[in-house]
Structure 1
Amino acid sequence: MSTVELLPEDERFIVGTVRDFVDRDVKPVVRELEHTNTYPEALIEQMKRLGVFGLAIPDEYGGTPVSTPCYVFITEELARGWMSLAGAMGGHTVVAKLLLHFGTEEQKRRYLPRMATGEVRATMALTEPGGGSDLQAMRTVARKDTGGYLVNGSKTWITNSRRSQLIALLCKTDPDAEPAHMGISILLVEHGPGLTVSRDLPKLGYKGVESCELVFEDHRAGPDAVLGGVEGRGFAQMMKGLETGRLQVAARALGVARAALEDSLAYAQEREAFGKPIWQHESIGNYLADMATSLSAARQLTLHAAREADAGRRVDMEAGMAKLFASETAMRIALDAVRIHGGYGYSTEFDVERYFRDAPLMIVGEGTNEIQRNVIVRQLIARGGLD
């Protein structure tokens, strides 16, 4: 029995629908879109129709809610076709979860129904040019006045920021707070005067979907812009949101790794050397065996974290482990796929070189793997060990 078959029938149907979309509509066009760095407008529209942007939103707000394991499988399928498509819905899902867990009822009703259809797409803005993973050192400040908040600062590596209508902005509402995280809030901001999307960052991979720099210069946010209505809770809120984000990145890594393995299996059966298919040569066969084993382990680790999340447990350690292991696995599998394909693996006429360029994003995205290890060891100590 495949792991997908452990899902309820309605969720298996959704995963199958996304799989068919990837095989029918994504794979035939992905190479050209990716190499020309073209925004996949038509594919995003199809994802909206499939309900992909409403997967974390309850029925009452017009969503198509699924379990976290189902969400992992859907993300994996999208990334198997093109990792950028999974990126287009990753931050959006985190913002939906943030609204659901922490938003006021008015905030939920304002945004979630339109987010469910994809009419409003959301992203989160955490990273700053000088800050990287040190979120508490951020310099973006929102100062309260009679009209709401005035926001000043800059963010970078913000995916989907040019085409998203809603930005969950991590910023300081009290720059003098001690400890620093007590002065951090999430502001729900929209595009308008004082917010400039300054440039699309040039990237090794992760093409088609934009990652930008944002500059706030006296950008006005309303008096009700703070997520949940209470200042100073943003850091804890975002740490909870990142549990979902890290599971999503782990699932993207599974998709890239699976695509690399599937291409390698097919090629190793077609390609002959010294009178037999190359998979029969022990060196190549060993690569394939190790690739399949490590991918299976990464998937089980990710699904374990997903099930724990659905059980209502804190999963910062489990999601960190999944993200760490799955991303390192994807990088290794992508490199081994290049080895198996030989010279063709280095050619832009094969998809293997794209997997090799896309895989590193999951190592550094959503908190670098070095940061994941810090999270994991702190939780190990706090919990008194693994059990």
Structure 2
Amino acid sequence: MNGYKCYHVTVHLTRQEQDLRATARAFGDEHITSVAMEYVKSGEWPWDVFAKAADADLIGRSFDQDIGGNQASLVEECLVAQEFCRADSSVGIAINGATVGCFAVSSFGSDEQRRRWLPSVADGEATSSIALTEPDTGSALSKVTTTAKIDGDEYVINGEKDWIANGVSSDWVATLCRTNPDSKGPHHGLSLIVVPTDADGYEAQARNRLGLDAAEHATVHYDDVRVPRENLLGEEEGQGFSQILEWLEHGRIEIAAAHLGMAEGAFDRALAYAKKREQGGQPIGDYQGMRWKLADMHKQLEVANAQVYRAARLVDQAEAGEDVVESTTDQASIAKLYATEIACDVAEEAVQVFGGNGFARENEVEHFYRDVKAGTIYEGTSEVQRNTIGKVLFDEL
């Protein structure tokens, strides 16, 4: 993309965080924006860009140093996700999603599991996935029906998952299974088990979607898939639901940052266009109506920036053992809800700024507009976020 970029303020960043954001932004400009339309048009997963991001030390930064990471904070992870998606909504979300299953292994896996599955991702040689939702359950994870039954030293997994990011191209999938169908409550008896995608009986088919052309979501079938019992994440069975709640808190904030980046990318392009496109003998940006439109978009982005990084900082503080008065669950849902919904608003207005040209496939804002909608659906719909916030308000969480 050529043109002006509006540098929205991310408040209270340390010098290290500012430097990381600058590095991620430079990487996005050089290696993502420059090739993004090729991947959007072809629908191919951006392996080359992913490998370059790994070489630039921008993949798996949250991992421990002994397995290729930097023990990065959630704030730092959000900065990278934001800049990747600002560079391009489709390629950015694909690269950011390559590590989607890694938090579960990093947080709940044994040392042996972490060393087995994470370094190759940090090196850009493998990607991961996490399989939660099912065709008949959606966000109701307590209703999961995929089963994992013990047979000797193995789990035998049967079931179906849907809308799984990287379900086809990933090397392994952290899969939420029901390991104890006789547990006392629906939230109990669930476990996370790592399934290699080359296992017999694992079959994934990519879904056709509205947007995110360079990324991937799939329907996954498990037909007597056998994996070693040692692939269970956690010290014992039945910890899956609590593990997913912790994963979601991180995931929702990072998704909020990614979609904030998408919104900023759409805004950057709209602002640049408003400064160069002429109508009536002057740039369209000279008209008051256009300036008001852009001012409202800018306002929404600034507020979203503040909330996303407030939520990320609170989670980092809580995990460091600091006293945090606010509910991190509440703040994560607010960040995800607000950032993804204003991303839809900003991207729609960006198309409007371009007019007819914004409706054309050859212009980037067209696919930004299609791509942002997914954010209000995956990792908990906007309705789920409102339910969560409501439960916090009524002391039910």
Please say whether Structure 1 and Structure 2 have the same fold, judged by a TM-score greater than 0.5: yes
- How far does the alpha carbon of each residue in 1:297-334 deviate from its partner, in whole angstroms, 9 at most, with x for none? 01110000000011015522111111100011010001
* Partner secondary structure for residue 188 of structure 2: helix
Cα pair 1:52 1:89 within 8 Å, conserved: no
Q: Which residue of 2 aligns with 1:251?
A: 257
Matches of residues 65-84 of structure 1 in structure 2 within 5 Å? 65-84=71-90
The answer to which structure has the higher helix fraction is 1
Give the letter aligned to residue 323 of structure 1: K
Question: Residues 92 and 208 (structure 1 numbering): CA distance in 2 closer, same or farther, change over 3 Å?
Answer: closer
Shift of 1:2: 6.4
1:332 corresponds in structure 2 to: 345
Q: Decide which of 138, 146, 149 is 2:152's aligned counterpart.
A: 146
SS of 1:213's partner is strand
Query: Is the contact between residue 147 and residue 179 of structure 2 (CA under 8 Å) also seen in structure 1?
Result: yes
Alpha-carbon contact 2:194-2:231 (below 8 Å) kept: yes
Q: Normalising by structure 1, report the TM-score.
A: 0.94
| One-letter code aligned to 1:258 | E
Of residues 199, 206, 211, the one that matches 2:212 is 206
> SS where residue 182 of structure 1 aligns?
coil
Trace 1:5-154 onto structure 2 (pairs within 5 A). 6-154=12-160
Distance change in 2, residues 1:92/1:350 (3 Å): closer
Deviation at 1:5, TM superposition (A): 7.8
Amino acid in the other structure paired with 1:316: T
Which amino acid counterpart does residue 223 of structure 2 have in structure 1? E
Consecutive aligned runs of 4 or more in structure 1 exceeding 6 Å deviation: none
What is the match of residue 360 of structure 1? Answer: 373
Equivalent in 166, 170, 176 of residue 164 of structure 1: 170
Structure 2 residues not aligned, in runs of 5+: 1-6, 319-323
Paired with 1:221 and 1:26, the residues of 2 have a C-alpha distance of: 37
Contact 1:250 1:327 survives alignment (8 Å): yes
Alignment partners' CA distance in 2, 1:181 and 1:89: 32
Equivalent pair of 2:46/2:94 in contact (CA under 8 Å):
no
Percentage identity across aligned positions?
Answer: 33
Superposition deviation, residue 103 in structure 1: 1.9
Query: 2:3 — aligned with what?
Result: none
Q: Tell me the C-alpha RMSD between the 2 structures.
A: 2.0
Q: Once the 2 structures are TM-superposed, how far is the Cα of residue 71 of structure 1 from its aligned partner?
A: 1.6
Alignment check: 8 A CA contact 1:94 1:241 kept: no
Give secondary structure in 2 for the equivalent of 1:53.
coil
| Total equivalences in the alignment | 384
- Matched to 2:252, the amino acid is R
Quick one: which amino acid aligns to residue 351 of structure 1? E
Shift of residue 375 of structure 1?
0.9
Quick check: 1:7–1:70 contact (8 Å CA) kept in 2? no
Within 1, Cα distance between the matches of 2:330 and 2:100?
A: 17
**Structure-2 change in CA distance of 1:115 and 1:45 (3 Å):** closer
Q: Which has the higher contact order (CA 8 A, sep 6+)?
A: 2
Structure 2: distance between partners of 1:108 and 1:185:
17
- Among candidates 214, 237, 254, match of residue 243 of structure 2: 237
Q: Which deviates more from structure 2 when the two are superposed, residues 18-27 or residues 103-112?
A: 103-112
